[in-house]
Structure 1
Amino acid sequence: MDILEQINAVQREVAKTGEAVSVLMRRTYQGEVEEVWDALTDPDRLRRWFSPVNGDLKVGGSFQIEGNASGEILECEPPKRYKVTFGGPTSLLEVRLAAGPGDTCEFELEHSMEGPPFPGGPELGTEGALYVGPGWDGALVGLAMYIAGEVGEDFDPVEMANSPEVIAFNEQSIRAWIKVLRASGTTTEEAIRAAAEVAMAQYCPGITLDLDNLD
């Protein structure tokens, strides 16, 4: 994996509207919309690059990601978009696809949240992007590798997530999100630093990040 190439392939934004905080990620994939949609929604394909997903996968149904979040399927317009709750009723995930130039697909992921990021925690500001953004960065890389044919039959997404290479990728992802937060002017440096410590412990255990030297 070319870590910096993968980091730079994604456009990242943060915003706060009322009580809702959102992260928005955009990336171009080399594949037709239908191909990317199928990779995102077919359980047999999802387990190849993301994680096993079970449930009644239709509008009104629910899903469970093995070892991760569950949710309700609110809206679905194949092959353009779907919207689900993700881990709770005030955590909403929407994925949107559109045809790009040639045989490319323009991908957007928007995750909006209200309230504390975890029970008993502080109210969520845009620094909450550091809790979810690196995880979604990893998912977007997995999808890119799968669409490019770089995922073999013996590929294990869970094992890969704990590899030194992915931990190094996670550190660069956290750095990227910190830069986005600082540039946005939507939160304080103190809040960013506190959230970065939590993100590093979650995604890069045992690594200390120098927040004053991110370049």
Structure 2
Amino acid sequence: MIDATEQINAVRRQLGRRVLEAGEARVMTISQTYDAPLEDLWDACTNAERIPRWFMPISGDLRLDGRYQLKGNAGGTIERCDPPKGFAATWEFGGEVSWIEVRLTPVGDDRTRFELEHVAHVDQERWDQFGPGAVGVGWDLALLGLASYLAADGSGVTPEEGEAWSVSEQGRQFVTASSERWGEASVADGTDAEAARGAAERTTAFYTGAPPA
């Protein structure tokens, strides 16, 4: 794994809102610029053989209107595809449907900005309890996996290595820092600072198993 503090600082996190047919939804955006050309980053994000090396095992038909399934996690339908610039898909998990969109933008000749937008209807009680970190920490871990994969020799991180790291002291520190940064993004979006801090602490406790302060 790459340096956790460096990775936390390399990521930008932002929150917003959007009105959909079913009502107002929360919009979470996370982004990072990688030392990889556009075509290579696109392939890393869409090739079924490469995705498990930094994210999760995936199955299905990875094409427009195809269905995908991440092992033990979300599945959905690929709704838009514009290679190598990005794609959009539903994110179906736990009986709920939200939406993700990935956008890739070249930065110079050999760097690419990765931006993921996750749009979801979230009830106020759940938002008050955990805030954006409930989903945001997971995406932070995904971007960490992608950064580690691109910085290595292409072999990626095995599930066993990832699991061991997640329960290590560095892994717990990474989750804590991610929760705190999402709490800061929540405050910037208008949430009361004390409420955002409490939600961040509960999110950290959820991911690490440690009781909140």
TM-score for the superposition, normalised by structure 1: 0.84
Are residue 135 (structure 1) and residue 142 (structure 2) matched?
no
Q: Which residue of 1 aligns with 2:46?
A: 41
CA contact (8 A) 2:105 2:114 kept: yes
Task: Give the counterpart letter for 1:144 in structure 2.
Answer: A
What letter matches 1:91 in structure 2? S
- SS at structure 1 position matched to 2:158: coil
Give the direction of change, closer, same or farther, for the CA distance of 1:198–1:208 in structure 2 (3 Å limit).
closer
**Given the superposition, is the C-alpha separation of residues 208 and 56 from structure 1 closer, same or farther in structure 2, using an over 3 Å criterion?**
same
Letter in structure 2 aligned against 1:83: A
What is the correspondence of 1:31-180 to structure 2 with a 5 Å cutoff? 31-87=36-92, 90-116=97-123, 122=125, 124=127, 128-149=131-152, 152=155, 155-156=158-159, 158-160=162-164, 162-164=166-168, 165-180=170-185
2:66 and 2:83 map into 1 onto residues whose CA distance is: 16
Distance 1:74 1:131 in 2: 25
Say whether the 8 Å CA contact 1:90–1:113 is kept in structure 2.
Answer: yes
Kept in 1, the 8 Å contact 2:131–2:183? The answer is: no
Q: How does 1:7-26 map to 2 (within 5 A)?
A: 7-18=8-19, 19-26=24-31
Distance 2:179 2:153 in 1: 24
Find the counterpart in structure 1 of residue 6 from structure 2.
5
Q: Quick check: 1:27–1:108 contact (8 Å CA) kept in 2?
A: yes
**Displacement, 1:196?**
2.3
Structure 1 residue 163, shift from structure 2 partner: 3.1
Gaps (5+ residues) in structure 1?
A: 210-215
Q: CA deviation at 1:3?
A: 1.5
Residue identity (%) = 37
Does structure 1 residue 196 correspond to structure 2 residue 203? no
Shift of 1:107: 1.1
1:172 to partner: Cα distance: 0.7
How far off is 1:103 after superposition? 0.5
Q: Measured at CA, do residues 153 and 78 of structure 1 come closer, stay the same or move farther in structure 2, by a change above 3 Å?
A: closer
Counterpart-to-counterpart distance in 1, 2:83 and 2:165? 29
* Alpha-carbon distance between aligned partners in 1 of 2:139 and 2:18, rounded to the nearest angstrom: 21
Instruction: Please identify which structure carries the higher strand content.
Output: 2
Is the 1:53–1:65 contact (alpha carbons within 8 Å) kept by the matching residues of 2? yes
- In structure 2, the CA distance between the partners of 1:188 and 1:20, relative to structure 1 (3 Å rule), is same
The answer for the alignment partner of 1:213 in structure 2 is none
4+ runs of 1 displaced by more than 6 Å?
Answer: none
Q: CA RMSD in A?
A: 2.4
Q: How does the TM-score come out when normalised to structure 2?
A: 0.85
